[in-house]
Amino acid sequence: MDVNFVGVGVGLVTGGIGGWIASLIKLSSEKKLLDARQDKQNEIQLAERIERYQSLLLLSASDLQDRLWHLTQDQYTARSPVLLNKDEDKRAYPRWPMTARHYLTSTIYLAARYFAAVEMLRHEIRFLTYRQDDKTRDLRDKIKLVERAFADTGLRKEVDKDVSSDQLVFQMQQVFIGQSIWHRGDQMIEWLEYPQFVDHYQQELAMSEDFMALADLLRGSVSKRSGSFHHRRLTLVLNSLVDLMDFLDPPQEDGEGRFIAKEDREKVKLGTVLRASSSK
């Protein structure tokens, strides 16, 4: 029997090519599946990291809001606000033995911790793939409102004719303050613990333009100087922090959140001073 070597050769070649193409298609499909799984895993890990930073943001916003409430409500109405003591190490009074040094340093730390949390979150969103959904944009809007409360001169418009003094903490000053107290841990960016911050602040940061601006704003908020915008500015910061807290920890019908109680997320009506029970 004659063998058609040409036909056999063509068949072998054709079959080989067909098998090779099939293998390539299979490998390509498997790679796409692996890539899709990896993308999904990366998305899950990123979402978890973002959630952790959002938790830090909620914690820092709540702590700062609580301190600003005490500063703009209790201390503003006090006969002798502790921040105005010339002797920074003198205790305010026996039932509240707070010193100006501790009150100022700890309040600056709470503000710096909030700025650090914002910068940590922005760092993750900026350098990692994260979908631009409505929630992300809304979060950025809430953060921007707090930033502007510290920095926007336009907030003086309603009372501008009466404003003779003010202290801004500009956007990049907020960035500097926040990044001054963060460091990279094993798995995520972290902020300095308070004892470490106190040493760093006293040795290096206290005389920087950025931290001095924040300190001047805090002191000015209880000075009661005629024409001062300091107190109103910090009240605006406080209220914008409440908006951010409501976004991160939405209140239920009774006003209670999952993490933040109703009484700890109350806004201050501009032009009024409420009495608060906090003495932190």
Given this model, what pLDDT does residue 198 score? Answer: 97
Q: What is the pTM of this model?
A: 0.79
Residue bearing the bigger pLDDT, 197 or 25: 197
Sequence-ordered strand ranges (E) for the chain = 91-93, 96-99, 182-184, 189-191
> 18-58, pLDDT tens digit by residue?
666 677 677 777 777 666 665 566 556 556 666 777 889 99
Of the candidates 93, 92, 114, the residue with the CA atom closest to the CA atom of residue 103: 92
Q: Average pLDDT of 51-66?
A: 91
Per cent of the chain over pLDDT 70 is: 76
Taking the CA atoms of 93, 96, 101 and 107 in sequence, report the sign of the dihedral they define: negative
Q: Is the pLDDT of residue 2 over 60?
A: no
CA–CA dist 171, 168 (Å, integer): 9
DSSP, collapsed to helix, strand or coil, labels residue 190 as strand
Instruction: Give the pLDDT band of residue 94 (cuts 50, 70, 90).
Output: confident
Given this model, what pLDDT does residue 158 score? Answer: 78
DSSP, collapsed to helix, strand or coil, labels residue 17 as helix
Q: Is the pLDDT of residue 3 over 60?
A: no
Instruction: State the Cα angle at 222 between 77 and 229, rounded to 5°.
Output: 115
- Structure-derived torsion over alpha carbons of residues 89, 92, 93, 94, reported in degrees to the nearest 10: -50
Which residues pair with residue 184 across a beta bridge? 189
> 200-233, pLDDT tens digit by residue?
999 999 999 999 999 999 999 999 888 999 999 9
Structure tokens, 254: 């009774």
Given this model, what pLDDT does residue 144 score? Answer: 94
Per cent of the chain over pLDDT 90 is: 55
Q: Is the pLDDT of residue 13 over 60?
A: no
> 258-273, pLDDT tens digit by residue?
999 988 999 998 864 4
Q: Is the pLDDT of residue 275 over 50?
A: no
> 112-152, pLDDT tens digit by residue?
999 999 998 888 776 444 456 677 788 889 999 999 999 99
